[in-house]
Structure 1
Amino acid sequence: MPPRPDDPSEPVTERPRVPRFTPAEHRVHRATATLMALCVLTAGCLYLPFLAELVGRRALMVTVHEWSGILLPVPLLLGLGSRALRADLTRLNRYGPHDRQWLRAALRRRDGRPAGKFNAGQKLYAAWIAGAILVMLGTGLLMWFTELAPLVWRTGATFVHDWLALAVVLVIAGHVWKAFGDPESRRGLRTGSVDAQWARREHPLWEHEDNTR
């Protein structure tokens, strides 16, 4: 009699996996996400009345908000010592015809979205959030150190900082929503490897991309 499929004596074969991220990249992502979460949460406590009343301690919220914002670029700067992280930053900054094809297919909700290790959506998100952090940092410093600029500059900085903060919250919410819709992608960031079949399906040009480096 052949063994039953759930027979514990039958060996369980794991599906092949491919490395995607190093521990250094995982730590950079986690540290950056933590600092960003602190910025968003403390900003909510400063701008939303019901949160301000619930939490109180406005001076503490201001201090945490300021320092978490200043420290935001630090994990990435420290992570530049990792060769794998530098290689991935290079990938994120390179666009090709397949990225335009991916965007067209995504906008029309169609299949056939060719991508290397990072798809076009991930590249655009990385570029946008990096630019937003720099603008938020610059405007935040003008608001913090009032002697750095005249009042009209500080007023403009406050306007840009507040509205860009809202855009950042919306974009990050979309990023988190997409991540929750792709468990294997989250597992790759958490464990460092992804299912080989998932990689071939979602990032079919990844192997070719690595072979041409």
Structure 2
Amino acid sequence: MMEVSNSQEDKSAIVEDADLEAVLLCQKGDVEAFGILVERYQKKMLNVAFRMIGDYEESCDVVQESFIAAFRAISKFRREARFSTWLYGIVVNSTRNRLLQLKSKKTRLTSAEFCPDLSPGKTGCGCSCQEVSVPQNSVLEDLERKERDAQVQKCIGLLDEGYREILVLRDIQGLSYDEIVSTLKIPMGTVRSRLFRARNNLKDLLLQRMGDFS
């Protein structure tokens, strides 16, 4: 077990050193170095944004905006935390802002904008009905897995924002408690209590939607 732990620490140190090298180059005006950081972290940041927002296109926009903000602020990065932790903080803040925008936009929508086109010859989704073949077992299993994943994502989206952030950063992204403290700027006790409540709330929501999934 100790060998595995040391190996993980070694990999983390290598990545951190590589990040620092790229950051120092960026601070000297090397745009290509920032591209390396984007490539290294874009999937992780997209996962954070998507888990919090639940919409892929909106999440892509948030991540793009976050990287632009990070590039503009890279000269102010003082290595008080890991670059990845600093970047997570930018993405979380950008996601919060986007959620507020989406919430405000939703309140302005009228019921007419939600009305489906039910013209003759069309289905409620606006597309023609087509005969489909019965999926094979492997396809059915894939569909069931995707449905479970979709239900989990819906339940995550129902959590309070503070709980959702903690859960995504800790249980999905695997950040340490110290990294979460640094990212969200909240005390360790708050991190632990919110995570405990977030896990319990998520379990209750999953039980309501999916039954006994244990």
Q: TM-score range by the shorter chain?
A: under 0.3
Greater RCO (CA < 8 Å, at least 6 residues apart): 1
TM-score between both structures, scaled by the size of structure 1: 0.27
TM-score between both structures, scaled by the size of structure 2: 0.27
